[in-house]
Structure 1
Amino acid sequence: MQKGGEILFLKIVKNDFYRKKITTVTVFVFITMAVLLGASATNIVANLIQSMSELQERAVPADITVMHAGEYDQAEIDQFAEKYRDHIVMQETMDLQNIDGSNIHFGQNQTMAGTIQDISFVVQNKKFDFILDLDNEKLEVKEGKVAVPIYFMEQYDLKIGETITVKSGGYEKEFVISDYARDFEMNSSLTSSKRFVINQNDYDEMLEMQAGELEYLIEFKLNENGDSQAVQAAYIKAGLPANGPIVGGTIFLLFNAMSDATVVMVIILISILLIIIASLCIRLTFLATIDEDLREIGVMKAIGISKKDIKNVYLNKYRVMSVAAGIIGYLLSFVLVNLFNGNMRLYISSELSGNLKYLLSFIAPLFVYFMIVMYSKKILKRIDKISAVEALRSDIMEHGKNRKYSFPLLKNKFFSINIYMGLRDVWKRFKLYRLLFFIFAVCTFIVILPLNMYNTVNSAGFSTYMGIGKSDMRIDLRRTDSITEDNKKLQEELKNDSDIEKYAAYITSSYQVKNADGSWDYINIEIGDFSVFPLKYLEGRAPEGEGEISLSFANAAKHGLNKKVGDEVTVRVGGEEQILSVTGIYQDITNGGKTAKAHTSLGVNEEAVLWYIVSMDLAPGVNIREKMDYYQNAYDSAQVNDIKEYTGQTLGNIINQMSLIVIGGIAIAVIIAVLITALFLKMLLSKDMPRIAIMRSMGLTSKNIKHQYMAGTLLVLILGIIFGVLATNYLGEFLVSIAMSTMGAAKIELVNIAWQTWLLCPLALIVVVGYTISVCCKVTEDDDLSVTFRS
């Protein structure tokens, strides 16, 4: 008997597969896609963890890096390191020769003048903070050769075997590119410096010819229990050289992982939405199946089959589907990951190996399986409410009350009868259509959110999240012997340049500031007139008068200076302490998010000037490219960029990764829209066959009926698109802001390009869904109406 029951159940499940091919395939595809994206996300996380671990192990990065320009006494640093031997394992000072990009030539008379990066030529370290090749081996560069940072390899398409020539003052030398440099501390485009590695003999020759400006990285490697904050505070208190920022190792870790972490977060969000969609599809399928099989359920109950066994008839189908979809999605995830791991392979590890990714990726199919089975069990509780007598007598699943409202045809004055009937059907049965509405809204969300994120990071306005007011052009004067004179000369020229509508000069220096613990720390403070190119402030306003300062979001947070608007900050300038009032808090993702802006009354810390910046707007009709070229040629040591180019260089990796997400999001949304529309209409048409037969008996053609369903479905689509766009604008901004708050931007306003958001994307969805409706609504006049009426 038991064996016969199993055969019966197997037959029912088999027949259900054949009977509902489109439904089964649709649900199967969604479960597979959910597993595919979930497993891909965990796979990327696993690769990222293992690759970062390997890179750290091979590179042995510094835990504390002090940037300093000027004279220093190595003996004093050695004494400090010995004194704090309980915290410090090793100390090493790296000498850097900073060469302006305009002095580095390559290709057909090209230079690196347009780069926003500080370029340094260095020799490989001996103790730690090693610069690696693409096999993560310690670089050993021969005489006459150079290892080029990956960032410049990508930006200028530099190939191994090609040459770069350094021309600075009386120094000129050609180097052959022998390797690409993978630099843990300066890999990311978010860091403003890059290191070229050369041989010791070449470095000594460059130093002798005074080709570049000297700068130093005073680096410390701590033991496992070493306290980074305590060492930094002690270093500052000891008055040791540090006229540049002091950077903790965690910042470099964050910058290296940022672009790949952004991809992971978006993929996980889409994966969660797909699990929800798959669950809703299963609910719709179950309800339709139970409705169709009501009499069969009644028969099984009448002959004594238990409720548990009846449920298993339906549940086993989804167990089998979840297992099969899980295996396929799991295996395909390793193919998909290769599309998104290009950045990781280049910047972190060329060979992504290890068993962790296989184990972590397996979490996704297990999670999806248990979610689907648990949700299916919840829906199948409806079978408990069905009695054998009622099931055999009537269709109790249709228990809803008749609506009191209706749309009489006589009141229709605006639409054709078919369109009006379609719209009327949506209103009267919106509970049935709400699933379709939700899924169309999700499709829109999946397309618009990545697109808006891409447009945001790729826009000129994104500079406001980098602590920079929006302007046409930006000129950076980096540290050289003539930086002060160049700055004065530049401002005098700008004052007399009729092509310049307005400009403002800013000076950034490193200052000592009293932190939340009462000890002294270093902070980059920019002084100037911040009313010319204003920022958007989260709270308060820009510093406008004497004794005023504004802080970046990260600096004002609890893990920073822990200040609010109205609080006071103590800054040390020229050996004297000044108490400044906090007037505002702004967003900034540069320099680890920790910057500040103060009124010019604070004064310049002449011993620790980091850079001069001049922002400007051009007069109407002036060619920005020609003006940029003019100032670039007039000031060799300057970096001249428009703001969009500046943000593009800074966020290059993230922008490239987001473009992949946009393409993937569009593809997923189209697949969802097509499959769900097909699934929904198949079920709706099956449910409405008696209704359709009545309409046909009254003389309506299949074309008339198709137009009714098309009008109703497209109305739901349009409503879903509107809701999806609004959800992206509010919920999307909220989610992105939460993610970006770790970088120092707590309130992101996504760039919404109207023709893309309200025209192109909706039009594409309408065309795709419209074609699907046209294909699915094939109500032929050849069907025997008597069969439909009898059923």
Structure 2
Amino acid sequence: MYLKIIKNDFKRKKVITSTVFVFITLAVLLGSSATNIIANLIQSMSAFNLAAEPADITQMHVGDYDQIAIDQFTEAHQEQIAMQETMELLTIDGVNIHFRDNNSFAGTVQDISFVVQNTEFDFILDLNNEKLNVKEGEIAVPIYFMEEYELTIGELITVVQGAYKKQFVIADYARDFEMNSSLSSSKRFVINPKDYGDMLQGKVGEREYLIQFKLRENADSKKLQTEYIDSGLPANGPIVTGDMFLIFNALSDATIAIIIILISILLIIIASLSIRLTFLATIDEDLREIGVMKAIGLSNKDIKKVYLNKYRVMSVVAGIIGYLLSFVVINLFTSNMRLYLSSDLSGSLKYLLSLVAPLFVYLMIVLYCKKILKQIDKISAIEALRSNIMVRGKNRKYRFPLLQNKFFNTNIYMGIRDVWNRFKLYRLLILIFAVCTFIIILPLNLYNTMNSPEFTTYMGIGKSDVRIDLRRTDTISEDFKKLQEELQNDPGVEKFSAYITSSFPVKNKEGTWDYLNIETGDFSVFPLNYLNGRAPEKAGEISLSYANASSDGLNKKVGDEVIVEVVGEEKSLKVTGIYQDITNGGKTAKAHSSLGLNEDAVLWYIVYLDLREGVDKVKKMDHYQNMFVGAQVNDIQDYKKQTLGNMMNQLNSIVLGGIVIAGMIIVLITALFMKMLLSKDQSQIAIMRSIGLTSKQIQQQYVAGTLMVLIVGIILGVLASEFLGEFLFSLAMTSMGAARIEFIQIIWQTWILCPLILIVIVGVTITLCCKATFKKDLSIVLRG
């Protein structure tokens, strides 16, 4: 009997049922897709890690080193170190590497290193996650460069430096666990040992080293790092742990999964609200049937079961369809994962984990239906046979009499008046419009924020035009001074500031010594936005990144003291500010230049500059690139895009997807709501038509009222995306070193373009719904 009732109900209310069905399917589809991404990410990261066997500690070093001393250190710590291997790299300037029509890699922000395959661990893989085995005359190109420069198998890459010139054929792409991500500042090109030996003989590039350790289970990585540095072993460069490589590889896909989960939750909310709208329309239409069922003795439980079974069936069918479709749609979101982590995503974990979404949606829908179906208990059989559920109770006092209208067109006034008098009915629509606006504006704000020049302040650097990085060479100190003199005398340069980053011993919260990368210089030229406090302005002052100041770092706040060892002497520095930085694991610090340098552990020489108005930026960058061949000269915006480009591309897809989904929802919801409203108001519409109002005039009333509701919903949605969205995104980025991100809004997009698009969509939908309703024969309506 129940199945027959449900089947007849589906036939009778095809539009309403189909609308709710689509929402539930979309919620399951996106929810399953998000959990699918997470399952694939877990599985692919595990497989990638197993095949690559990355190092647990990697010390980058430039300059001479003593392998015997490193071996002795390894021998002395056998209980913690399983394996040690030192990889030699030849770092070559991008300007010396040519491809396709004499183009070069001069514009890249990445350090380019040529290497041979490791023998013990930290293997560089091909796209099948097999260890690369490159033949003589061939080269394996990092995936990052393959994408950035559209390099294809079989193309030639030519290395030219001095008398050395060699052509390599691209034979494969390199999947590199340690340097895959665009957030990593270096990339490794793999060549044959014979070709590498020829490069050494030709004195090509600068030698650098990765001193790598594979630790035993339960080894204390942090303690071992400190002991390594204290032993005076080679440490002229940053030190990176395996956890950081893991975060860099997973960050982009994990961020997308979180955003999709959020949209899926919002869709569940919309589906629930749609069911409420449907229920209100259904109860209003079926009021007499409910009265008859009660009159013949059916219990409230049996009557509610009729409606509940309908949504149970709908949730199960929509859940199955959404679950199956997610395995088709997922390909839109996992292309980045397939390229950078694993080409094979055929594991079974995703099938099990993806079931969470349909089960969760089913549970939420059923619980919500049970809650709203309690209204049936309040309806008596006599009341149901006599009256309308929406008007039972006390007589309402209608406000805003028509005679008091002095400002609006009569039809517009009547539409607005109707919203006020039936606000309980319209408030559901306001909430749904607000949620749809949130789905559009949040990804858009996120994309615009990351795309704005101000986002560089979250990367620990002030807003500027150009960034110049000097590579570690024997003449770097002289080059650094010469560069500053040149900039000082350059009339095209408005202002500049030079910074040097060194690694210093610092006393941690346990009272033992760690190492901290401290940047020194004048931080008033290109100021940062500080969470608390200010930049260091005089001797004895230091500012810490959020990650360093947190309880997981040094556990300091503004006004506290930090003990730093400088040239064997302990110095106490006062914390003046805490800033945000998502680079280098988020753990950096800035101090007044009077602190000096740790000459044995200088990491970076960087200069930021602003150009005067009218100066050709490209020509100026070329000028300094040619003057300082070993330098990297980059437009700061280009630097940011190359660093965050992968995530930006995926966010762009999310923005477009959010607009499409929200547009579909608004069309369906508006049609559903108008069908309910027009069905309820049939008698009222018939009376207005009988006294001379045209269909167009009546239509104007509904358009005016619904558009007013839409505008309120848009305002609430935009405000929610700004404040709640900022909070959620900042919460997600806290682990990366940014605890308070402020969204950048492009006003014409947020407050003009998006609202106009939504107004047009809603206006057209209402018009079509009204035309279909007003075609009915007036006499039939009045007789009914």
Per-residue deviation at 1:161? 1.0
Partner of 2:144: 151
* 2:543 paired with 1:550: yes
Partner of 2:754: 761
* CA shift digits 1:538-570 (9 cap, x unpaired): 000000000111111111111111111111111
Q: Using a 3 Å threshold, how does the CA distance of structure 1 residues 689 and 360 change in structure 2: closer, same or farther? A: same
Partner of 2:17: 24
1:340-739, aligned counterparts within 5 Å?
Answer: 340-399=333-392, 401-402=394-395, 404=397, 406-739=399-732
Per-residue deviation at 1:365? 0.8
Q: Which TM-score applies when normalising by structure 1? A: 0.97
One-letter code of the match for 1:245? Answer: P
Residue pair 2:115, 2:188 contacting (<8 A) in 1 also: yes
One-letter code of the match for 1:508? Answer: T
Q: Which TM-score applies when normalising by structure 2? A: 0.98
* 2:766 paired with 1:787: no
* CA shift digits 1:654-695 (9 cap, x unpaired): 001101101100100100110000000000000111111111
Per-residue deviation at 1:164? 1.2
* 2:178 paired with 1:185: yes
Per mean C-alpha deviation after superposition, the further-off stretch among 317-326 and 568-577 is: 568-577
Q: Using a 3 Å threshold, how does the CA distance of structure 1 residues 117 and 780 change in structure 2: closer, same or farther? A: closer
| Counterpart Cα distance in 2 of 1:333 and 1:63 | 36
One-letter code of the match for 2:448? Answer: N
Residue pair 1:47, 1:357 contacting (<8 A) in 2 also: yes
* 2:173 paired with 1:173: no
| Counterpart Cα distance in 1 of 2:230 and 2:88 | 24
1:208-247, aligned counterparts within 5 Å?
Answer: 208-247=201-240
Per-residue deviation at 1:403? 5.0
Per mean C-alpha deviation after superposition, the further-off stretch among 574-583 and 129-138 is: 574-583
Per mean C-alpha deviation after superposition, the further-off stretch among 496-505 and 375-384 is: 375-384
| Counterpart Cα distance in 1 of 2:172 and 2:394 | 75
SS of aligned partner of 2:531: strand
Q: Using a 3 Å threshold, how does the CA distance of structure 1 residues 780 and 307 change in structure 2: closer, same or farther? A: closer
One-letter code of the match for 2:580? Answer: Q
Per-residue deviation at 1:19? 2.0
1:45-64, aligned counterparts within 5 Å?
Answer: 45-64=38-57
Per mean C-alpha deviation after superposition, the further-off stretch among 381-390 and 212-221 is: 381-390
One-letter code of the match for 1:417? Answer: T
| Counterpart Cα distance in 2 of 1:779 and 1:409 | 28
| Counterpart Cα distance in 1 of 2:63 and 2:277 | 72
| Counterpart Cα distance in 1 of 2:91 and 2:627 | 20
Per mean C-alpha deviation after superposition, the further-off stretch among 489-498 and 535-544 is: 489-498
SS of aligned partner of 1:742: helix
* CA shift digits 1:273-326 (9 cap, x unpaired): 000000111112112212222221222222222322211111111111111111
1:17-416, aligned counterparts within 5 Å?
Answer: 17-399=10-392, 401-402=394-395, 404=397, 406-416=399-409
Residue pair 1:701, 1:781 contacting (<8 A) in 2 also: no
* CA shift digits 1:307-347 (9 cap, x unpaired): 22211111111111111111111111111110111110110
Per mean C-alpha deviation after superposition, the further-off stretch among 269-278 and 173-182 is: 173-182
| Counterpart Cα distance in 2 of 1:632 and 1:756 | 38
| Counterpart Cα distance in 1 of 2:483 and 2:775 | 84
Residue pair 2:539, 2:592 contacting (<8 A) in 1 also: yes
* CA shift digits 1:343-374 (9 cap, x unpaired): 10110011211111111111111111111111
| Counterpart Cα distance in 2 of 1:519 and 1:77 | 23
| Counterpart Cα distance in 1 of 2:88 and 2:40 | 33
Residue pair 1:706, 1:779 contacting (<8 A) in 2 also: no
Per-residue deviation at 1:80? 1.8
| Counterpart Cα distance in 2 of 1:58 and 1:394 | 72
SS of aligned partner of 1:655: helix
Per mean C-alpha deviation after superposition, the further-off stretch among 759-768 and 169-178 is: 169-178
Per-residue deviation at 1:208? 2.4
| Counterpart Cα distance in 2 of 1:99 and 1:444 | 49
- Give identity over the alignment, percent: 72
SS of aligned partner of 1:127: coil
One-letter code of the match for 1:230? Answer: K
Q: Using a 3 Å threshold, how does the CA distance of structure 1 residues 100 and 136 change in structure 2: closer, same or farther? A: same
One-letter code of the match for 1:694? Answer: I
| Counterpart Cα distance in 2 of 1:107 and 1:767 | 48
Q: Using a 3 Å threshold, how does the CA distance of structure 1 residues 400 and 449 change in structure 2: closer, same or farther? A: farther
| Counterpart Cα distance in 2 of 1:208 and 1:80 | 31
| Counterpart Cα distance in 2 of 1:400 and 1:129 | 75
Q: Using a 3 Å threshold, how does the CA distance of structure 1 residues 601 and 699 change in structure 2: closer, same or farther? A: same
| Counterpart Cα distance in 1 of 2:551 and 2:693 | 70
Q: In structure 2, list runs of 5 or more residues that go unmatched.
A: none
One-letter code of the match for 1:204? Answer: G
Per-residue deviation at 1:480? 1.8
Per mean C-alpha deviation after superposition, the further-off stretch among 430-439 and 534-543 is: 430-439
1:751 pairs, out of 736, 744, 748, with 744
One-letter code of the match for 2:650? Answer: Q
| Counterpart Cα distance in 2 of 1:782 and 1:612 | 76
One-letter code of the match for 1:613? Answer: I
Partner of 1:3: none
One-letter code of the match for 1:325? Answer: A
Residue pair 1:117, 1:194 contacting (<8 A) in 2 also: yes
Residue pair 2:26, 2:322 contacting (<8 A) in 1 also: yes
SS of aligned partner of 2:179: coil
| Counterpart Cα distance in 1 of 2:775 and 2:254 | 57
One-letter code of the match for 2:387? Answer: S
Q: Using a 3 Å threshold, how does the CA distance of structure 1 residues 208 and 511 change in structure 2: closer, same or farther? A: farther
SS of aligned partner of 2:771: coil
- The alignment covers a number of residue pairs equal to 784
* CA shift digits 1:574-595 (9 cap, x unpaired): 2222211111000000000111
Q: Using a 3 Å threshold, how does the CA distance of structure 1 residues 401 and 88 change in structure 2: closer, same or farther? A: farther
Residue pair 1:478, 1:610 contacting (<8 A) in 2 also: no
Per-residue deviation at 1:162? 1.0
Per mean C-alpha deviation after superposition, the further-off stretch among 425-434 and 267-276 is: 425-434
Regions of 4+ moved over 4 Å: 400-405, 779-782
* CA shift digits 1:67-119 (9 cap, x unpaired): 11222222222222222222211111111111111111111121111111111
One-letter code of the match for 2:290? Answer: I
* CA shift digits 1:126-165 (9 cap, x unpaired): 1100000011000111111111111111111111111111
| Counterpart Cα distance in 2 of 1:300 and 1:724 | 42
| Counterpart Cα distance in 2 of 1:466 and 1:402 | 62
Per mean C-alpha deviation after superposition, the further-off stretch among 38-47 and 366-375 is: 366-375
| Counterpart Cα distance in 2 of 1:398 and 1:343 | 55
SS of aligned partner of 1:533: coil
Per-residue deviation at 1:783? 3.5
| Counterpart Cα distance in 2 of 1:430 and 1:189 | 51
Per-residue deviation at 1:781? 5.9
Per-residue deviation at 1:697? 1.5
* CA shift digits 1:228-279 (9 cap, x unpaired): 1222222223232212222111100000001101110110000000000001
Per-residue deviation at 1:212? 1.6
Residue pair 1:702, 1:779 contacting (<8 A) in 2 also: no
Residue pair 2:115, 2:196 contacting (<8 A) in 1 also: yes
